[in-house]
Structure 1
Amino acid sequence: MKISKIAEVLRADVLCCEENLEAEVASACAADMMSDVLAFVKDHAVLITGLCNPQVIRTAEMMDIVCVVYVRGKVPDAMSIELAKSKNIVLMTSKYRMYQACGILYGEGLRGGESRI
């Protein structure tokens, strides 16, 4: 799914890296614990989270996550946005709750990565 489609269906405001909206994501992950992201996320994914700190961007970089969606209308601080710009990671914010955002993306055909469980 293209990142532009994610922004559209989640009614999200793009915070940075708009030039990458035509990039494709292969899967989605929703987590507030970055240790879960490190354990289970696949490359070229979108991360859905309510956690707003620079560690989210650092984790996204390590896992080749191309887009982070902040839910519940949360907006990361300026430091996180600047870090995402430097790493070329699209950031957006949506008013939906995490469960709703996941359901919408699933309904549009975007699946999660495979679990190791």
Structure 2
Amino acid sequence: MTVEDIRKILGAKVLVGEEHLSEEVSSACGSDMMSDVLAYSKDHSVLLTGLCNPQVVRTAEMLDIVCIVFVRGKKPDEAMLSMAAERGIILLSTGHRMFSACGMLYEAGLHGGAI
């Protein structure tokens, strides 16, 4: 699945990285706890979160996460947008709640896999 597919499924707005929407994503993770995301650690994944601070971008960079989707309409500040752009991480925002967004992606065939 591509990030563009994810954008369409979630009706998300692209905040950063529109030029990278053709990137492939192989799995997903939904969490507001970056310690859980660190334990998850899969390459080429998408992170769904309601946490809106620079640690999210730093965590994504460490784990080769392609895209971060902010749920519940959350929008990062300019510093986070710049940080993500510099690191080539795509940022999306959707009005869906995390549970719904994860379910929509799962139903469309994007799975998280076992740990």
Distance 2:56 2:66 in 1: 12
Give the aligned partner of residue 108 of structure 2: 108
Q: 1:78 to 1:113 in 2, by over 3 A?
A: farther
TM-score by length of 1: 0.97
Aligned length: 115
1:14 aligns with: 14
CA distance in 2 between partners of 1:113 and 1:107 (Å): 14
Equivalent residues in 2 for 1:30-45, closer than 5 Å:
30-45=30-45
Q: Who is 2:58 aligned against? A: 58
- Provide the residue aligned with 2:27 in structure 1: 27
CA displacement 1:30-82 (0-9 Å, x = unmatched): 00000000011301000000000010000000000000000000001111110
Q: 2:65 is paired with a residue of what secondary structure?
A: coil
* Unpaired stretches in structure 1, ≥5 consecutive residues: none
Paired with 2:92 and 2:110, the residues of 1 have a C-alpha distance of 17
Matched residue type, 1:98: M
TM-score (norm 2): 0.98
Q: Distance in 2 between matches of 1:61 and 1:12?
A: 21
The farther-off stretch of 32-41 and 96-105 is 32-41
State the alpha-carbon separation in 1 of the partners of residues 104 and 114 from structure 2: 19
What SS does the aligned partner of 1:66 have?
strand
1:50 is aligned with what amino acid? G
Residue matched to 2:95: 95
Mapped to 2, the partners of 1:82 and 1:66 lie a distance apart of: 16
> Which residue identity lines up with residue 89 of structure 2 in the other structure?
I
